[in-house]
Structure 1
């Protein structure tokens, strides 16, 4: 498979390249406008096919592309490759507004190509082992509550970038049923000056209470996930360990020793899933529905806060 990586910034270097470059059978092409980065990474990973303009990748007859550039560039680049009939992966968010997301999925449907979004938290192995509802919506009926809390130190920010670039992770992680409206949603927020500092979104889906939370004026950068079933509860304060309370007893749960960090964070399984989607040539309708719904819900939250 000839796979082009477009955008070689921080997230690509930290989370994707260490995994992708170890997968056999991939013929990789690197693309970025930063010549120094292109040279450095081509030497590090021994990649010979290098491009500074993503449009030139068409001549290379790539089988698929992965877009890791800035959010503002996602619509333009994804549009180009979908129109060429090429499977496309985009780091979350797909765009910073729901309208562009909807147009891109309409374009993907028109050209019958998968448009995949990089929500790695859907694939964290420790969470999915003990909270199977996160990946299998048919398993969620017995889930009583799910709270996903993602906090940062001293990073209050612009409303739209706060929600689409960061808060979208906990929001999507609790959006198990692809909710795309604010009906029966309890929404609270706080500002620090003119910047958004905290946001909490909570609703109930049948018997399950769902809560996404982000505080960007917290004491430290930290993520915490908790879920409960009848007489059984779990809490995770990292991607590799947590606690279980059951039968009135507490136990510690962990990933196996020597589990690679990026596997623990879900990137390995997500990339494997993406490559499987490319091979099949299509993305499951329920995944498309959830991808769209999360962005639509984020848009409504933005508008609510902006008044």
Structure 2
């Protein structure tokens, strides 16, 4: 099956190409404008079909494509692919603005093509295990060290994972949304999102001056708690804690859900099943609301 990989930056090199290159039955085709990088990566994976132009890549006869280009290029690249009848997997976010994201989702539906957004945490084993438990209270922290940032890029590049995971884990409809933050000199230092519904509350926390890079999820209810640390270590609390760690031979790609989401997308393409990004658009809509709230808090 002919599959394009567009954009060969860190995420493609570290997360996706190792998975794609190990899967049977794929005819991989690489595209980037950086010829030296294209040849270096093509040589390392023994991929001979290499392109510096999107039109030429599309004309080669793609069935599906993985888009790992910079976010500001998502709309034109994904538009061209969908209009050519190619099923698309694209890194989050679809676009830095809600209007661009909506246009891509609407186009995919008109073209009857799959559009899947790279929310790998929906497929991470630790987070799927968290979804098995009562979730009266959900707390997800995704912290960084020394990285205050402008609101729109912080939310759409990073906090979007927190937003999407809370929506994925929420056990019911969201009836209340609250956003709190600390912003200095136009840069967001921390943001706290509260989502609530009938009988549950979900908190999403990001501190960009936390002194640590970490991701900690806790779900609790029914007098028990399950915690997931950095997507690798699962700790059950009911009396004495029980710890389950990632196995020595479990890859980081599998631990983080990358392998599963890639295989799921490609299986759907082979089966002719159309995957909708309408649910992912809901995440983008909430992100846009958060950006608006943060903008109001800076005035």
Specify every segment of 5 or more residues in structure 1 that has no aligned partner in the other structure, as ranges.
134-141
Q: Distance in 1 between matches of 2:137 and 2:251?
A: 29
The question of whether the paired residues in 2 share the 8 Å contact of 1:224 and 1:235 is answered with yes
The question of whether the paired residues in 2 share the 8 Å contact of 1:178 and 1:294 is answered with no
The question of whether the paired residues in 2 share the 8 Å contact of 1:143 and 1:227 is answered with yes
Q: Distance in 2 between matches of 1:201 and 1:282?
A: 34
The question of whether the paired residues in 1 share the 8 Å contact of 2:115 and 2:275 is answered with no
Q: Among 266, 270, 286, which residue is 1:297 paired with?
A: 286
User: 1:149 matched to which residue of 2?
Assistant: 141
- Stretch moving more, 37-46 or 124-133: 124-133
User: 2:105 matched to which residue of 1?
Assistant: 105
Q: Distance in 1 between matches of 2:237 and 2:30?
A: 47
RMSD (Å) for aligned C-alpha atoms: 1.9
The question of whether the paired residues in 2 share the 8 Å contact of 1:114 and 1:281 is answered with no
**Are positions 1:31 and 2:55 aligned together?**
no
1:190-244 deviations in Å (ceiling 9; x for gaps):
1132211111111212222111111111111111111112011011222221311
Q: Distance in 2 between matches of 1:114 and 1:178?
A: 25
Q: Distance in 2 between matches of 1:82 and 1:268?
A: 23
Deviation at 1:256, TM superposition (A): 3.0
User: 1:256 matched to which residue of 2?
Assistant: 247
**Are positions 1:215 and 2:207 aligned together?**
yes
The question of whether the paired residues in 1 share the 8 Å contact of 2:112 and 2:274 is answered with no
User: 1:136 matched to which residue of 2?
Assistant: none
**Are positions 1:225 and 2:214 aligned together?**
no
User: 1:80 matched to which residue of 2?
Assistant: 80
User: 2:235 matched to which residue of 1?
Assistant: 243
Deviation at 1:177, TM superposition (A): 7.7
What secondary structure, in the 3-state scheme, does the structure 1 residue paired with 2:29 have? strand
What secondary structure, in the 3-state scheme, does the structure 2 residue paired with 1:153 have? coil
Deviation at 1:265, TM superposition (A): 1.1
In the TM superposition, 1:30-179 aligns within 5 A as 30-132=30-132, 142-176=134-168
What secondary structure, in the 3-state scheme, does the structure 1 residue paired with 2:227 have? strand
Q: Distance in 1 between matches of 2:203 and 2:90?
A: 26
Deviation at 1:169, TM superposition (A): 0.4
Q: Which contiguous aligned blocks of 4+ residues in structure 1 show a shift greater than 6 angstroms? A: none
Deviation at 1:300, TM superposition (A): 1.1
What secondary structure, in the 3-state scheme, does the structure 1 residue paired with 2:22 have? coil
**Are positions 1:197 and 2:189 aligned together?**
yes
1:148-184 deviations in Å (ceiling 9; x for gaps):
11111111111100000110001100013899x9962
The question of whether the paired residues in 1 share the 8 Å contact of 2:126 and 2:228 is answered with no
Q: Distance in 2 between matches of 1:49 and 1:19?
A: 18
TM-score normalised by length of structure 1? 0.91
User: 1:138 matched to which residue of 2?
Assistant: none
TM-score normalised by length of structure 2? 0.94
**Are positions 1:266 and 2:254 aligned together?**
no
